[in-house]
A and B are shown apart, each in its own frame.
Chain A
């Protein structure tokens, strides 16, 4: 038996491969998609353990370091190379006329960076209290890898915590859209007739409304006294009100197309039940399209949340998301003085790019005719 399996040639393997194996093979060739997948994996991994990866508590105010620039990690000093990286201290100067603070590196103070260091207390997933951080410096040193904001809070840690909210809102929103889209698209494609007509008109209507004004109005209507968690779900629901349309269209189109395929007819003639036809024959043949569409719908949700929070209509501080962080960058003059406030924007762009690359690769892989 083993001997025979060894003899299967590459060509034979191609013919006996399942649909998913074939897709994986095509997907692997798409370099950008692999790159996107790796980036997203890292982002989500860091976001899940954001407390561990951040260097300090996100609400801790360093009143001596307001709008401090990012500190650079050094390996070299005047003595030469050090295996253990370090940061220099910050020297603050206040301009007596404009009261502007400027910071410069204080070469006399050197703070080595330690790994797996005990620092500020936090709760992992709100459950396990711990104080272990990936990296940090010992008191009285400071480490601001992305600088600090107007209250002197560490932006590196805040960005990581924001990633958790911003990245998850896309997933939750898409999950909601997915349920709505499958249900309504399924009804539309399966039953046809009046139900189909009504649902199609509703989709056309929703797609003809400019989304941002609608989102703005709906999120402005969220009661201001709601707790953050409720606002979070409120925003995801608002985002998926428009989001389900695209998915419903795909489901309906595919159902209509597949119903008339020969293999469905064949299964019917053999006497397969409706349930078996749906689960064994219909679902696998358009599941890949659904996955592609979901992947491509997530960035829209992330952009939506970022825009709303940026305007101050979405999530509210003390919750941090990339959009909430970008609110500090609303004023151009502030941004010119403190360009590191734009870092969250960079994360948004990279995340959305990665999702688009991944979606593109998946789409090529899922298309059996290419």
Chain B
């Protein structure tokens, strides 16, 4: 078990390194370097930029170094908590991201819980009541959920609530709590605003997981041990939950590594439409304005979240499923 965790941890570090290289490449991708666009911006606003200042800035951002050294410098600074500066906001990137990180994690976690809490029972119901009205209804809803782009779902919900209830949804807080310090009332306000983003982000993932759960359980229910147990007179309820459900849940738990990227990915676009104060809109604005330090760091943080989440889920899976545990030990 320990050796598996260590190996998995080591693997995660490698992935994180590759992610950081990817983020660095993304920072470098736009033509010219980010300083050029910064200087252009200053010039456009009528400020005078002298050569000495430019040289000083180049030095400050290590742009005078060869590219691989630039990467090392960037990494080194990041390990010391220096993520660079956002040109657009004129603030350290670290502050901007830290401000939004807790809410990003909250929304993702709630969505993950929502997805599993809904998908597993519905999957079980659909499999045990195959071809019933309920099964068909969930299948149809599921297909539509898979087919609707998340931003469109967000738009439609906003449209419906605005048109028919006169409410403007969006954001995570009511205006009076937006800038208020954390308090019990603010937390309750947050909980009131969470359902819509959570449903919108989780819809597609839930629909997918229902299909998987239903399929796995259907396969499992046809197996001989189920028939044997039924012949011996085990009650249907006990029969269902004692073995087949536990076996069928496994693939679901193990796909957490794919569910999490999907949630983070969906959250990015939904947050832009609904105006949530998470990292997604920050990344979007940074990309549009070529604020590359902020963009690179945002992508890196989002990916780190998924990679670390997957790592934790893998460990949990080993802990939950004795078959994997023993297999790893046997090796």
Contacts and interface: CB of A to CB of B under 8 A. Distances in A.
Q: Which 3 A-B pairs have the closest CB atoms?
A: A221-B29, A210-B265, A352-B147
Nearest to B169: A332
A213 B75 CA distance: 21
Contact of B283 (A213, A223, A310): A213
Interface in A209-230: 209-214, 216-218, 220-221, 223
B112 interface: no
B155 A221 contact: no
- Residues of B contacting A: mostly: helix
- Residues of A contacting B: mostly: helix
A251 B152 CA distance: 33
Contacts of A209: 19, 22, 261, 303, 306
B298 interface: yes
B163 interface: yes
A345 interface: yes
B287 A313 contact: yes
Specify which of A221, A312, A342 lies most central, judged by the most chain B CB atoms within 10 Å of its CB. Answer: A221
B31 interface: yes
Nearest to A215: B265
Contacts of B269: 212, 307, 311
Interface of A: 205, 207-214, 216-218, 220-221, 223, 299, 303, 306-307, 310-313, 326, 329-330, 332-333, 335-336, 339, 342, 345, 348-350, 352-353, 356-357
Given A212-B266, A335-B159, A207 B151 contact: no
Nearest to B23: A217
Specify which of A332, A350, A357 lies most central, judged by the most chain B CB atoms within 10 Å of its CB. Answer: A332
A299 B284 contact: no
Contacts of A218: 26, 29
A326 B152 contact: yes
Interface in B291-331: 295, 298-299, 302-303, 306-307, 310
A212 B278 CA distance: 15
Given A299-B147, A335-B159, A212 B15 contact: no
A87 to B, nearest CB: 26
A221 B146 contact: no
A348 B153 CA distance: 12
Interface in B160-207: 162-163, 168, 170
Nearest to A221: B29
A216 B268 contact: yes
A216 B287 contact: yes
B26 A212 contact: no
Contact of B284 (A223, A311, A339): A311
Contact of A210 (B150, B152, B273, B303): B303
Given A336-B162, A348-B152, A353-B143, A217 B299 contact: yes
Contact of A345 (B29, B152, B162, B265): B152
B121 interface: no
Contacts of A207: 257-258, 261
27 contacts: A207-B257, A207-B261, A208-B306, A208-B307, A209-B19, A209-B303, A210-B264, A212-B265, A213-B280, A213-B303, A217-B283, A218-B26, A303-B149, A306-B149, A307-B151, A307-B269, A311-B269, A312-B288, A313-B287, A326-B152, A332-B158, A332-B170, A335-B155, A342-B156, A345-B148, A348-B147, A349-B152
A213 B147 contact: no
Contacts of A214: 22, 299
Given A299-B147, A336-B159, A349-B147, A208 B287 contact: no
Contacts of A348: 147, 149, 152
A124 B113 CA distance: 52
B295 A217 contact: yes
